[in-house]
């Protein structure tokens, strides 16, 4: 490739024409590593000679002949025509530009999506069966027995009716007390219910006794 620019050559090679008894282009600026080729286009002979001997002189170039030299060092090179010293030329050798650094690709961090926490199901409350208190059952039984006795019955009938109720209330109270003490020690509530049931039975017996007395006196 022999590209030419006015006074500047960026290609790896450049051409200088010797025509009409001048070197063209001159001055010529090139980068280090460029090969310059002189071409004789005149009908007479020419010779390329360095002023300082920085590069070897060419042979006598006839019409159409060429001479090439690769400039590897930076600097200013002046030369002339050995056949006609009035013909002169200059070459400026500059350092080759450094290639632009290749940009590094930007690595984006991989974001791992956080898992969605599953809702914890709430425990279903089991229905609590209503347990009847033994003392309450005994109290209800005693009340039913007392209400079954007529107001005009003799005292013996009232006492005999109240006695089974009292006897049924006592085991119930003792059973409640025993179950409470067998499970986790004495249950104050169960004992209190048992005592209350006994008091109710006694009260009912007293009422029955008073009713019998009134019936006799009448």
Q: Which domains does the chain have, with CATH numbers?
A: 8-94 (2.60.40.420), 134-217 (no CATH)
Q: What are phi and psi of 121, to 5 degrees?
A: -65, 140
Pick the more confident residue, 189 or 76.
76
CA distance 64 to 140: 143
pLDDT (average), residues 67-93? 97
Beta strands in 135-196 (DSSP E): none
Strands across the sheet containing 34-40: 22-24, 13-19, 34-40, 66-71
Q: What is the pLDDT of residue 206?
A: 84
Check: CB of residue 57 under 8 Å from CB of residue 25.
no
- pLDDT tens, position by position, 105-158: 887 777 777 878 777 777 776 655 444 455 445 545 545 444 444 444 443 443
Least Cα distance to 205 among 159, 140, 144 occurs for: 159
Pick the more confident residue, 170 or 111.
111
CA distance 161 to 148: 8
Per-residue confidence at 165, pLDDT binned at 50, 70, 90? very low
- pLDDT tens, position by position, 48-58: 999 999 999 99
Per-residue confidence at 59, pLDDT binned at 50, 70, 90? very high
Record the pTM.
0.44
DSSP tag of 63:
T
- Is the Cα dihedral 8, 83, 52, 66 positive or negative? positive
DSSP tag of 128:
P
Least Cα distance to 18 among 36, 41, 2 occurs for: 41
**Is 88 buried (19+), middle (13-18) or exposed (0-12) by CB count in 10 A?**
middle
DSSP tag of 5:
B
pLDDT (average), residues 165-187? 46
Write out the H or E segment, with its range, that includes residue 78.
strand 75-81
Tokens of 195: 């005592």
CA distance 180 to 26: 124
Tokens of 24: 């063209």
């Amino acid at each position: 490739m022999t590209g030419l620019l006015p006074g500047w050559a960026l290609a790896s090679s450049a051409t200088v024409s010797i025509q009409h008894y001048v070197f063209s282009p001159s001055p010529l600026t090139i980068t280090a590593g460029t090969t310059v080729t002189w071409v004789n286009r005149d009908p007479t002979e020419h010779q390329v000679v360095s002023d300082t001997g920085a590069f070897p002189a060419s042979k006598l170039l006839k019409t159409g002949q060429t001479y090439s030299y690769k400039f590897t060092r930076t600097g200013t090179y002046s030369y002339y025509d050995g056949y006609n010293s009035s013909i002169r030329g200059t070459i400026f050798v500059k350092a080759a530009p450094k290639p632009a650094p290749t940009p590094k690709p930007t690595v984006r961090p991989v974001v791992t999506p956080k898992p969605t926490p599953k809702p914890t199901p709430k425990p279903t409350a089991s229905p609590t069966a209503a347990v009847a208190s033994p003392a309450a059952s005994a109290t209800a039984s005693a009340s039913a027995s007392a209400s079954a006795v007529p107001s005009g019955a003799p005292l013996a009938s009232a006492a005999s009716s109240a006695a089974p109720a009292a006897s049924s209330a006592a085991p119930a109270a003792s059973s409640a007390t025993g179950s409470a003490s067998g499970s986790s020690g004495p249950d104050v509530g169960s004992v209190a219910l048992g005592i209350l049931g006994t008091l109710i039975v006694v009260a009912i017996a007293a009422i029955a006794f008073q009713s019998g007395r009134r019936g006799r006196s009448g």
